[in-house]
């Protein structure tokens, strides 16, 4: 038997009802904040991620699905292509490629699959889904303002509330401007120098090439060393500190609670200033539902114009796990099951179904080979509210037997009144 590849999975009904609920709620929230959808390709030039996300990150150094595409001519070397491990780099590439800076502040969102070669476990997959958004534009568009950071965070709190997810914690940090981070990296390097030989080889390498990434080391024996390292909060210059304070002030004013965590550095190199994660207790080891932050230098790093931005990515798989709702309950049930009674009734029933479906009713169409008993049983099993019986006599009278499947009550309803009688809450 051929099975789905390790780390990938099929999303089946009724669970897909939860996914649709999350997607629809996200779209409604994005609409309220005036975000518009963007769809970028699922694979991109590998360089986009090595330059954008960073060579030393776990994502780029270990987790990308990359292959060499065949060149056009036999002798031509192929292009290295990667399945996107995240979507911010793709959005910023599109921003540069299509000159979106002429539109001022771009407020874009995406929903789609991402791919990372990670060790699969609960809440961690090799194909997973993210719902994300980016606010990006030239500095004149206000894209650098702390008001944008606060707006993004408030949007996220609203989204989680709308989904009925409580018990989340917003962990907030500022990882400083480019110069702050350069100073901080230097301080980390100095602090790590005398102790790094005691660390895991992977962490040792990071201590030299990109000390900030030492915080992504998960080896338990290294944690006491990491705990002693200097803190980024001591390295913020005045404008950066002020920016961060303003973000916090707005959050307090709109009533979004947060916890400061100056160890939160996020596993991607493009972040600057505000960085955040929302965690949730019910998720176990993989407790981060979403992460994000500012990436003021990313556009320039990718060869584009100066375009400060801020964004986030929500792990939809984890969000669905944190939803405290039953999938069965979320699934829509047919308004009516049409039960054709005897030969020739499929034709008539198809016409009626079309008519009712055009009125936005949810209709399940039965089969004329079924006896009435079997039709009614099928209708009940599907959770339909009504069964509509279509037999020779009904067609002649243009009036149909409508059975309420909850009460068992059955009445004859003229054709012209069917929609009104079947429509929920009518
Ligand atoms: P990141 O792009 O690493 O900041 O991830 C943003 C969010 O995506 C995380 O907080 C997770 O919820 C989710 N995520 C990242 N990697 C995976 C994965 N392998 N499987 C499922 N969700 C993931």
Per the structure, the complete domain to which residue 387 belongs is given by: 333-422
Rounded Cα distance between 420 and 396, Å, is 21
What are the pLDDT digits (tens) for 201-215? 989 988 988 898 898
Is the residue at 1 inside a domain?
A: no
Is the residue at 182 inside a domain?
A: no
247 lies in the same domain as 391: no
> Range with the lowest mean pLDDT among 94-103, 209-218, 227-236, 311-320?
209-218
Residue at which a domain ends, from 276, 294, 322: 322
Is the residue at 191 inside a domain?
A: no
Residue nearest to atom 16 of ligand 1 (CA): 124
339 near 366, Cβ under 8 Å? yes
Ligand 1 proximity of 222 Cβ (cutoff 6 Å) = no
Domain count, the chain: 2
Residue nearest to atom 14 of ligand 1 (CA): 315
Ligand 1 proximity of 317 Cβ (cutoff 6 Å) = yes
- Residue 382 belongs to a domain with what CATH number? 3.40.50.800
pTM: 0.92
Ligand 1 proximity of 289 Cβ (cutoff 6 Å) = yes
Rounded Cα distance between 119 and 143, Å, is 37
Is the residue at 300 inside a domain?
A: yes
pLDDT tier at 35, thresholds 50, 70, 90: very high
Binning the chain into helix, strand and coil, the percentages to the nearest 5 are: 45, 20, 35
Cα dist. 113→9, 87, 206, 261, 333 in Å?
Answer: 12, 9, 29, 29, 28
Question: Scanning the structure block, which residue is given the tokens 């590439």?
Answer: 93
Task: Encode burial over 12-36: b for 16+ CB neighbours within 10 A, e otherwise.
Answer: eeeebbbbebbeebbeebbeebebe
What are the pLDDT digits (tens) for 293-312? 999 999 999 999 999 999 99
Residue at which a domain ends, from 293, 322, 351: 322
Is the residue at 186 inside a domain?
A: no
CB count within 10 Å of CB 107 equals 22
315 lies in the same domain as 343: no
């Amino acid at each position: 038997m051929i099975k789905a590849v390790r780390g990938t999975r099929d999303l089946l009904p009724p669970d897909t009802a939860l996914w649709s609920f999350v997607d629809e709620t996200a779209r409604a929230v994005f609409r309220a904040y005036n975000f518009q959808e963007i769809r970028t390709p699922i694979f991109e030039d590998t360089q986009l991620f090595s330059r954008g996300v960073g060579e030393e990150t776990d994502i780029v150094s270990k987790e990308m699905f990359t292959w060499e595409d065949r060149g056009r001519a036999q002798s031509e070397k192929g292009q290295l292509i990667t399945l996107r491990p995240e979507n911010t780099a793709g959005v910023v590439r599109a921003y540069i490629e299509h000159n979106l800076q002429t539109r001022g502040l771009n407020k874009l969102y995406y929903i789609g699959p991402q791919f990372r070669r990670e060790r699969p476990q609960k809440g961690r997959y090799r194909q997973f889904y993210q719902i994300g958004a980016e606010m990006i534009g030239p500095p004149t568009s206000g894209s650098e303002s702390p008001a944008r950071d606060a707006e993004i965070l408030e949007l996220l709190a609203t989204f989680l509330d709308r989904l009925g997810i409580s018990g989340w914690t917003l962990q907030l940090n500022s990882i400083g401007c480019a110069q702050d981070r350069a100073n901080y990296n230097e301080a980390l390097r100095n602090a790590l120098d005398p102790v790094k030989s005691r660390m895991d080889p992977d962490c040792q390498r990071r201590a030299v090439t990109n000390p900030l990434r030492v915080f992504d080391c998960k080896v338990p024996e290294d944690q006491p060393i990491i705990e002693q390292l200097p803190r980024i909060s001591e390295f913020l210059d005045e404008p950066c500190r002020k920016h961060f304070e303003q973000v916090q002030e707005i959050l307090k004013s709109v009533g979004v609670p947060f916890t400061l965590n100056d160890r939160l550095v996020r596993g991607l190199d493009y972040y600057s200033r505000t960085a955040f994660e929302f965690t949730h207790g019910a998720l176990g080891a993989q407790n981060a539902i979403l992460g994000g932050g500012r990436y003021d230098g990313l556009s320039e790093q990718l060869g584009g114009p100066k375009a400060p931005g801020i964004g986030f990515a929500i792990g939809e798989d984890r969000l669905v796990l944190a939803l405290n709702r039953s999938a069965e309950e979320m699934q829509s049930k047919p308004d009516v099951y049409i039960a054709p009674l005897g030969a020739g009734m499929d034709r008539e029933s198809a016409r009626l179904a079309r008519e009712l479906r055009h009125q936005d009713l949810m209709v399940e169409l039965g089969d004329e080979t079924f006896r009435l008993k079997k039709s009614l049983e099928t209708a009940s099993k599907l959770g339909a509210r009504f069964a509509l019986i279509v037999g020779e006599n009904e067609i002649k009278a243009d009036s149909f037997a409508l059975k309420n499947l909850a009460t068992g009550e059955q009445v004859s309803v003229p054709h012209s009144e069917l929609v009104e009688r079947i429509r929920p809450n009518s």
